[in-house]
Amino acid sequence: MPDQPDDNEVEERLREIIDRLDPVPERLLAAALDSYTWRTVDSELAELVLDSVAEDQAALVRGREDVRLLSFEASGLTIDIQVSSSGQGRRIVGQLAPPGPASVQIRQGSGVTDLDADELGRFRGPLRDGPFSLKCSAGEERTRSVVTDWITI
Amino acid sequence: MEQGEAGDLVKAAAQGDEAAWRVLVERFSSLVWAVARSFRLSTADASDVYQTVWLRFAEHLGRIQNPERVGAWLATTARRESIRVVRSRSRALPIEDATLADLVPPDETSPELAVLDAEQARLETDRAKQMWRAFRDLPVRCQQLLRILMASQRPSYVEAAAALDVPVGSIGPTRARCLRQLRRLMNEVSGNDSQPHTKKRDQLGDDRAGSA
């Protein structure tokens, strides 16, 4: 056909349609710009090393409860958490290893929740929707601080 | 944006330069969104992935091994988080909001087209709907690649390859094949415009990849 549009023309037309149909929502762009303020410069990063969703699909089928297990690791500190969802919302139950008291902060876009880990390194608290990260400050003076990778449940 | 420039922006942002952060967000925002959407995530899930990627990036600024490849890092992170969400959502209640496939081009009455005269507007709308219908009839892999390449800030092939976890060399040929299929589907649709769409066309779905 003489008037057959070429690849680039087709692509540009499709790009226009998608631009109009599915742009990045404005509020998200604002949230992305704001993400910078969550940056910590003096904390060690605990990276995600285990996620029950990624590790064991069979368990998801077996499990009746809506429970997610996650593990974050920094040098010398492991943070294991279990997130359970129910009609009343979501809750985090966590365990620090090695065990010991610490200040734990749940960080979410909508705000922060301050918790205390007990002598055995256990803590628990509510979790709102959306991505979250934990900040743990341990040691005698709470001088050592670790933040986990952000994650979506 | 040159790779070197992107690398410098990452280093500057890591040292506290918020203006550099802004440039990075504006440059790569549409790529991160496109990757999440390419995994057929709903608006709510795609929003979670998008926000998670930027929050994580902020925390990783000073730790990224190849700052000049920041676009590929963001695309890879968006892919992994999208897959994580897809897996966790398979057991959760369905969320009733729109995925990419549910979107419909606006009618000629929409404000965007109100400036055009009625006949011209109708033609524009019909063309957009025809192309969109053809896009949605493409095999899933084609829809995914094209949605990523259609990010309003056009990604490089390296970034698209990171988003899909495929070799860079495969992007060009796959793009060409997918666009060819898209054109063919559009021709089919316009050739059949006077007749109602048969069910057969709708049912072909993803199997079409094999007959390409």
pLDDT tens-digit map of A3-30: 456 888 899 999 999 998 999 999 999 9
The verdict on a CB contact (< 8 Å) between B87 and A53 is yes
Q: Does B43 touch chain A (CB under 8 A)?
A: yes
The pLDDT value given to residue B190: 67
The verdict on a CB contact (< 8 Å) between B100 and A51 is no
What is the number of domains present in chain B? Answer: 1
Residue B206, pLDDT > 50, answer no
- Residue A19 with chain B: CB contacts under 8 Å: 150, 152
Residue A56, pLDDT > 80, answer no
For the CA atoms of B158, B160, B164, B168, the dihedral, rounded to the nearest 10 degrees, stands at: -40
Question: Which residues of chain B from 61 to 80 reach within 8 Å of chain A, CB to CB?
Answer: 61-63
- Residue B89 with chain A: CB contacts under 8 Å: none
Packing angle, helices B157-164 and B18-38, rounded to 10: 50
Residue B77, pLDDT > 60, answer yes
Task: Print the domain residue range for B108.
Answer: 3-211
Over residues A60-84, the mean pLDDT reads 82
Residue A123, pLDDT > 60, answer yes
The verdict on a CB contact (< 8 Å) between B128 and A147 is no
In this structure, what are the phi and psi dihedrals at residue A86, rounded to the nearest 5 degrees? -145, -175
The pLDDT value given to residue A42: 84
Helices (H), chain A: 7-21, 26-34, 52-55, 57-62
The pLDDT value given to residue B212: 35
Region of poorest pLDDT, from A47-56, B20-29, B50-59, B156-165: A47-56
Residue B173, pLDDT > 60, answer yes
Residue of B41, B59, B77, B132 to mutate when probing chain A, most A C-beta within 10 A: B59
DSSP A88: T
Q: What is the DSSP string of chain B?
A: --HHHHHHHHHHHHTT-HHHHHHHHHHHHHHHHHHHHHTT--HHHHHHHHHHHHHHHHHHGGG-S-GGGHHHHHHHHHHHHHHHHHHHHTTSPPP-S--GGG--PPPTTSGGGTTS-HHHHHHHHHHHHHHHHHHHTS-HHHHHHHHHHTSSSPPPHHHHHHHHTS-GGGHHHHHHHHHHHHHHHHHHHHHTTTSPPPHHHHHHGGGGGGG-
The verdict on a CB contact (< 8 Å) between B103 and A20 is no
Nearest-CB residue to B29 (from A10, A29, A133): A29
Over residues B24-42, the mean pLDDT reads 96
Q: Which residues, listed in sequence order, are joined to residue A69 by a DSSP beta bridge?
A: A82
- Residue B116 with chain A: CB contacts under 8 Å: none
Is the separation of the CB atoms in B129 and B105 below 8 Å? Answer: yes
The verdict on a CB contact (< 8 Å) between A39 and B58 is yes
The verdict on a CB contact (< 8 Å) between A20 and B183 is no
Nearest-CB residue to B84 (from A54, A60, A147): A54
What's the CA gap between B123 and B193, in Å, rounded?
13
Residue A46, pLDDT > 70, answer yes
Residue B180, pLDDT > 60, answer yes
Residue A59, pLDDT > 90, answer no
Residue A137, pLDDT > 90, answer yes
Q: Count of A–B CB contacts within 8 Å?
A: 132
The pLDDT value given to residue B110: 57
Q: How confident is the model at residue B109 (pLDDT cuts 50, 70, 90)?
A: low
Residue B208, pLDDT > 80, answer no
Q: How confident is the model at residue A129 (pLDDT cuts 50, 70, 90)?
A: confident
